[in-house]
Chain A
Amino acid sequence: MFPYLLRRILHALLILLGAFTFSFILLQVMPGDAITVKFQDPDLGLTPQQIAEIRLSYGADGSRVAQYFHTLTGMLRGDFGYSVQQGVPVSTLLRTTLPVTLRLAAFSFVVAILEAMAIAFLATALPFAFLRRMLAALPGFLGAIPVFWFGIALIQFLSFKLRLVPVVGAGPYEAMILPTLAISLPIGAPLAQVLLGNLDEIAARPFVAVVRTKGAGALWTLFHHVAPNAILPFLTISGLVFGELLAGAVVTETIFGLNGIGQLTQQAVAGQDVAVLQAVVMISAAAYVLINLTIDLVYPLFDPRIHLQGRTMS
């Protein structure tokens, strides 16, 4: 077990270092960096020497290799450099925006899981075949909805027409209702599809037939025998939706005016603020790696078959 654990952690760190290197090469080595964009405007009247001094203060002088290690060690210390556009440390920006996005992501994730379960169980257990078929087709439909359009439609109907949820002057939690709905539907859709597939697959196994032959009802079998076996693998893919959660945050925070990572990202791209974008990329890569590592480590505790595999592999 221990070497397995160690190897997983090592692998996770390697991926993170790789992601950093990749984003560094992509964002920093390419020509046309943010400092040039912001300060080379002739109207500012800066001499090349002054620009060089600015570069120095941003840590953007020296060779590429020196910059690479400068940025890497900085990030390890929680120092993500300066936002060239806003003139403040990126870590300051992150401190105010991260909690908003984390709250939004957590809400949306929970709601998405609930939606997925509701759709999958109803599509399995409802009495009429046509109802089941309609529900089974629902995830494909939900997955095709453009998040930004859906968010706008929500504002239009729930807020302007029906006046159920305020968008202007809403409290911190009230303000989360519509964005959560907007993100969770398209994310819940693929999850529902996976869970539905799992339920079908488990229901076709011989042991389910045995349980049924012994006289158990369809619903009892579903909830006591099929569901427990189907939900575990379903939860493990939850890590994969993280990226979509973040993508959804970029769009919905822009629509709903939430001051989170998503809006920060949107502004960073518009203003070619590379340091901010790289910080966001690294945070999301770290979250992705961490979620997957946790799943890898926790899964054997629940599923003895995986545990054995881990042993034999190590």
Chain B
Amino acid sequence: MIGYAVLVRRLAGFWTMRGVASPTLGISIAFIAMLALMVLCPALFTHYSGIDGAASEHLQAPSARHLFGTDQLGRDVFARVVYGASRTLSAAILAVGVGLGVGGAIGLLAGAAGGRVEAVVMGLVDIMLSIPELLLSLSVLILSGFGTLHAAVAVGIGQLPSLARVVRGDARRIRALEFVEAAYGAGGTFASVVRRHILPNCLTSIASLSVLRFSTAILSISTLSFLGYGAPPPAPEWGLMIADGRNYLATAWWMSSFPGLMALLVALAAHRISHAISARESGTGNRS
């Protein structure tokens, strides 16, 4: 009975983020939920197309008809932001998947193994760390060619070394704990100890990390498409829209402002949620 009560309290605690609950967290979760809906069915939000526009309505200021105004080809900027959400966000998820899937796995295994394996693997990671993230991404892109998919993978590879570093730190801390030693003593193999003891204890921090990296991945991906290496022009993509709007700064501020604002808000919300996850884990309150 008592166990059940604790479980209920825990679940309730998760939803209200007990101890770290705040209006900003609620808004952040609601915002991300709204974005998810945008990705799943964009048609709910707008009846305009994200790609075709009416040339007669070009460069109109925001109004009730066009919430975020229209661009130089008469395309509705709000519709493009909505349709762009799926491209930008799925690219960010892919990037974090690559970075965490490869980098996190490397860090986890190195940290759990320790000794010479850890030293050699982390030496290689240190070498990759000496190259700035963006340049690492660009080195991949220059060979793979451009496009959203390639940009996402490149961002993931850029994040790989720092993710390996962080996850390795966690795995290493847990490896040093007594119950891990006990698990080996009880006849556990390396694989079983990693799977049953080390990985589960790293999960919360990995979750927090992946949400945080999701926000930086959005910024990196839109940076790459801003530079012209991401989605090809007609596609609605936030970074690309900002780049397009650059030439109309003096006359049509809405073209680049709204997609930029969206990227900013997503990054902020993800940052806030990541913070709440890690604050819950460490049991301390937080500042922001």
Tell me the A residues contacting B by CB distance below 8 Å. 15-16, 18-19, 22-23, 26-27, 30, 32, 133, 136-137, 140-141, 143-150, 152-153, 155-156, 160, 196, 242-244, 246-247, 250-251, 254-255, 265-266, 268-270, 272, 274, 277, 280-281, 284-285, 288-289
Contact = CB atoms under 8 A, between A and B. Distances in A.
A270 B146 CA distance: 9
Contacts of A26: 139-140, 143
Contacts of B260: 146, 149-150, 152-153
A147 B268 CA distance: 14
Nearest to B266: A144
B124 interface: yes
Contacts of B142: 27, 268-269, 272, 274, 277
A136 B130 contact: no
A250 B243 CA distance: 14
Nearest to A140: B288
B135 A156 contact: no
21 contacts: A18-B127, A19-B130, A22-B131, A133-B287, A136-B288, A144-B219, A144-B268, A144-B271, A146-B226, A147-B223, A149-B256, A152-B245, A243-B134, A247-B133, A247-B135, A251-B223, A251-B226, A270-B229, A277-B138, A281-B135, A288-B131
B107 interface: no
A263 to B, nearest CB: 10
Interface SS of chain B: helix
Residue picked from B123, B138, B250, B287, most chain A C-beta under 10 Å: B287
Given A146-B260, A251-B226, A277-B142, A15 B132 contact: no
Given A140-B288, A269-B138, A269-B141, A255 B264 contact: no
Contact of A160 (B130, B134, B250): B250
Given A22-B131, A27-B139, A136-B288, A146 B246 contact: no
Nearest to B228: A270
A15 B250 CA distance: 47
A150 B263 CA distance: 11
Contacts of A277: 135, 138-139, 142
Contacts of A270: 228-229
Interface SS of chain A: helix
A152 B143 CA distance: 29
Contacts of B222: 146, 148
Contact of B126 (A15, A133, A280): A15
Interface residues of B, number: 46
B131 A146 contact: no
Contacts of B135: 243, 246-247, 265, 277, 280-281, 284
Interface in B138-152: 138-143
Interface in B114-128: 123-124, 126-128
A143 B131 contact: no
B212 to A, nearest CB: 10
Interface in B208-255: 215, 219, 222-223, 226-229, 239, 242-243, 245-246, 249-250, 253
